[in-house]
């Protein structure tokens, strides 16, 4: 049995579906780590131990991948070091200084196949910017999929992780693989989750504070909405920086920092990620994003690191 370990968002789900369709030579199963945590828990390690080979997709967990003791293919597009584990084949343009908009894009290019998953995974990660990418634009035209359709599906797919539904995340891989894309727009379990999330999202957005081109919001919620809040503040409202903090997500703290593309280089987020990891904080990200989750007792440490790097905190 082959195993796919994938990220919980739309890109991770679509990446896992692409692997299941095009790269798995025999039966497979898929698992996702605890939502919001860049680590493999006991459940994931048990699944790895029962598998013959492993695919890891869209998870910036190089430390965990280094520990895998069987043949592994590691697809990603986040900033990370080159894997030293000889059992691992690492396919990530970022290790050679190249950029890719999504993991689904990396896999589609690797297998030379473009379809629904290529589109939704990329839209899920970079939003409407995906429409300027030739491969994505051509795929949408061939599928008869509009911009609104693609955004809607990606948003609905993300309701699984936003609502903390780990089982839903894992089931979504099969749903994407089996349903025609038009059916995904009206998939009832995702619609019901979406309605609950929208109410919570509006409440958080109403409490945002700002200074110039910076936005800050701190809240407590069982919904994993920090990445969506940050994307909204930067992509839709137009802030250059957004720092979003959930002080109580399953008794842990989530911190998510996003910047606009125009200031990403000067912010050097790869360095910030490195500082957080050196302090024992579970952190990941890419050029424009840093996300981390940690126990409340590390709050002062994380706050000091982030403040020293950014020069502000709330």
Residues 6+ away with beta carbon under 8 Å from 21: 117, 177
Please count the structural domains in the chain.
Answer: 2
Q: Which domain holds residue 118?
A: 2-188
Residues 6+ away with beta carbon under 8 Å from 159: 165, 168, 190, 193, 194, 197
Same domain, 182 and 211: no
Task: Kindly report, residue by residue over 245-282, the tens digit of the pLDDT.
Answer: 999 988 899 999 999 999 999 999 999 999 999 999 98
What pLDDT is attached to residue 204?
A: 97
Answer whether residue 200 is part of any domain.
Answer: no
DSSP secondary structure letter of residue 82: P
Q: Last residue of a domain, which of 154, 188, 222?
A: 188
Same domain, 51 and 175: yes
Say whether pLDDT at 25 is over 80.
no
Say whether pLDDT at 216 is over 90.
yes
The neighbouring-strand residues paired with 200 are none
Look at strands 72-75 and 88-91 and give their pairing.
parallel
Answer whether residue 270 is part of any domain.
Answer: yes
What pLDDT is attached to residue 36?
A: 78
pTM of the model: 0.77
Closest of 69, 67, 62, 54 to residue 19, by C-alpha: 54
Answer whether residue 120 is part of any domain.
Answer: yes
Answer whether residue 195 is part of any domain.
Answer: no
Residue in this structure with the two tokens 């910036």, named with its chain if needed: 60
The mean pLDDT value for 4-9 works out to 97
The neighbouring-strand residues paired with 5 are 31, 56
Same domain, 275 and 135: no
Same domain, 23 and 117: yes
Same domain, 232 and 168: no
**E strand map for 162-223:** 209-211, 214-219
Task: Kindly report, residue by residue over 234-251, the tens digit of the pLDDT.
Answer: 999 999 999 999 999 888
Task: Kindly report, residue by residue over 76-112, the tens digit of the pLDDT.
Answer: 999 899 999 999 999 999 999 999 999 999 999 999 9
| CATH for 284 | 3.10.310.40
Q: Quick one: how many helices (H) and strands (E) in the chain?
A: 15, 11
């Amino acid at each position: 049995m082959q195993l796919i370990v994938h990220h919980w968002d739309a890109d991770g789900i679509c990446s896992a579906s692409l692997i299941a369709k095009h790269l798995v030579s025999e039966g497979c199963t898929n698992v996702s780590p605890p939502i919001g945590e860049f680590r493999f828990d006991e459940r994931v390690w048990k699944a790895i131990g029962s598998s013959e080979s492993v695919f890891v997709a869209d998870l910036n967990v190089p430390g965990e991948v280094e520990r895998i003791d069987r043949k592994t293919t590691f697809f990603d597009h986040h900033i990370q070091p080159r894997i030293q584990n000889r059992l691992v084949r690492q396919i990530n343009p970022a290790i050679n200084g190249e950029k890719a908009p999504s993991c689904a894009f990396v896999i589609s290019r690797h297998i030379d196949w473009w379809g629904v998953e290529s589109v939704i995974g990329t839209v899920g990660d970079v939003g409407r910017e995906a429409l300027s990418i030739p491969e994505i634009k051509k795929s949408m035209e061939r599928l008869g999929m509009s911009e609104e359709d693609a955004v809607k599906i990606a948003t609905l797919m993300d309701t699984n992780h936003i609502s903390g539904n780990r089982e839903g995340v894992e089931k979504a891989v099969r749903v994407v693989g089996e349903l025609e894309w038009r059916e995904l727009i009206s998939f009832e379990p995702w619609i019901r989750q979406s309605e609950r999330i929208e109410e919570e999202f509006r409440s958080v957005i109403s409490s945002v504070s700002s200074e110039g081109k910076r936005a800050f919001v701190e809240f407590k919620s069982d919904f994993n909405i920090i990445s969506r809040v940050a994307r909204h503040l930067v992509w839709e409202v137009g802030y250059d920086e957004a720092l979003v903090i959930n002080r109580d997500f399953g008794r842990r703290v989530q911190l998510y920092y996003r910047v606009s593309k125009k200031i990403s280089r000067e912010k050097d987020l790869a360095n910030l990620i490195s500082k957080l990891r050196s302090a024992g904080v579970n952190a990941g990200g890419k050029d424009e994003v840093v996300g981390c989750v940690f126990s409340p007792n590390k709050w002062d440490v994380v706050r000091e690191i982030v403040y020293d790097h950014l020069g502000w905190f709330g």
